[in-house]
Structure 1
Amino acid sequence: MKLAQDRRSSRWDAHRQARRVQLTDAAIAAIREHGAGVGMEDVAAAAGTSKTVVYRHFADRAELYVAVCGRVAEALVAQVRRAMEAASGPRATAAAGIEAYLRLIEADPEVYRFVVHRPLLSGRDSGAVTADPVRDLVSHMGDHAATVLAAQLERTGGDVTAAAPWGHGVVGMVHAAADNWLARPSGMTREALAAHLTDLAWAGLSGMVPAPGDRTEEDA
């Protein structure tokens, strides 16, 4: 009897998890359609259900917000890291990561604003978010950037110990600049911003690469 109950419980756990994924997808679709200020009614409509059902799977708006943040972080980190790993040389690696990050948030600005500025949450809801998903995302991306940079520096004989601070520093710089760019557009294109940020990052990153490596690297 206990084994049968465990199996039923496991099936229901899988169903609830699948339903949470579906509702998170619906929330992201609603954000894209209605903007970062989307309401729970919009999320329920996008899912073809009611707010009651949404709250059955997410205790409150804060829990749904964290789920959306997790989905966005997963996609953003994967695509930025893939772009960096496909590049050759430390400068090209930094440039690829910066370009990929800017390209992704430019293509999905309302989802980015939803994650960064938390418009779904009231003051009470914000208190329910015990961690800071945005800070966690930036830190997570910094870890991945540092790992990729360390591999590039090891191949070129650079200072591998500097990869961690520079990986986190570059990600923090790009995050802050991108937030400002979306909030107060000045007519600068994504390509121009990416070039400026790459130049700024490389001014420091180049100090980790031996001079002979700089001269032989095509993108130095």
Structure 2
Amino acid sequence: MDDDVEPTATPRTAPRDGRDARWERHREERRAALVDATIRAIRRHGAGVGMDDIAAEAGTSKTVIYRHFDDKAGLYRAVAHRIDGRVVGNVGAALGRSSTPHGDTRELVASTVDAYLALVESDTEVYRFVVNRPLVDLPLPDDPVGGTVDQVTDQLTGLLLVSLSAASATDHSRARTWAIALVGSVRAVADDWLATPESDRAPRADVVESLTELAWHGLAPALAGTKGR
């Protein structure tokens, strides 16, 4: 029996709770394996990878892939969510290492920028695939990239609030505005950085320093102004 075809019950079978649970695990494992294969194909063929390349890397057919993901957009979402977990995890780890009396907020900014750019640099084609969405022909009602940005923004907002001397509604609004501005600028710079030929691309450390300086000159006076409130 094809291991990608869900087993059907017969009238004499016992309740299928156990079989359903095993099949669900199988489907999750198969989907994960197909996402792994897609990421390998992206790394091998670049962000413009096609479904034929992905199917060949997975050792299966496009029909089987669509059985698990419905369509190309479903496969794209699954890959984007995998990368989403890495981005949020990497940035979250950096923010956790930096949590932060007043004097360490600059380090928090630098760590956040570096964590994002490090992932971009280490998996460039996969990042391009997620951002440019080559498999998706129409806009998605649920944008996975936007979800990632929101999660990182929420993390950064919380930690910027720690650097403020009060947690009023005004402070929360300011912290979120700063977080959105920082995350947006890092994304924009990352996209431009990747578009630059590698031979002309500035070292990551230089980009991190430039972005940190820009953010810090805006944040430092505002944070200092909260101490006396």
TM range (shorter): 0.7 to 0.9
Instruction: Verify the 8 A CA contact 2:87 2:148 in the aligned structure 1.
Output: no
Partner deviation per Cα, 1:23-42 (whole Å, 9 max, x = no partner): 11111111111100111122
Aligned-partner residue type, residue 123 of structure 2: D
Task: Report matched runs for 1:1-220 at 5 Å.
Answer: 4-87=15-98, 88=100, 89-121=104-136, 123=137, 126-127=138-139, 129-151=140-162, 153-154=163-164, 157=165, 160-161=171-172, 162-185=174-197, 186-210=200-224
> Which range is displaced more, 160-169 or 27-36?
160-169
Share of identical aligned residues, percent?
44
Could you say which structure has the larger radius of gyration?
2
> Which range is displaced more, 171-180 or 50-59?
50-59
Partner deviation per Cα, 1:67-114 (whole Å, 9 max, x = no partner): 100000101110111012112511100100101111110111100100
Unpaired runs of 5+ in structure 1?
214-220
In 1, Cα distance between equivalents of 2:129 and 2:94:
24
Q: Which has the higher helix share?
A: 1
- Number of aligned residue pairs: 206
Unpaired runs of 5+ in structure 2?
1-11
User: Residue 15 of structure 2: SS of its match in structure 1?
Assistant: helix
In 1, Cα distance between equivalents of 2:178 and 2:166:
13
TM-score normalized by structure 1? 0.85
Instruction: Verify the 8 A CA contact 2:55 2:61 in the aligned structure 1.
Output: yes
Aligned-partner residue type, residue 165 of structure 1: T
Q: Relative to 1, partners in 2 of residues 1:169 and 1:7: Cα closer, same or farther, differing over 3 Å? A: same
Aligned-partner residue type, residue 14 of structure 1: R
TM-score normalized by structure 2? 0.82
RMSD over aligned Cα atoms: 2.1
Partner deviation per Cα, 1:164-208 (whole Å, 9 max, x = no partner): 211121001100111111113443221111111001111222133
In 2, Cα distance between equivalents of 1:101 and 1:173:
12
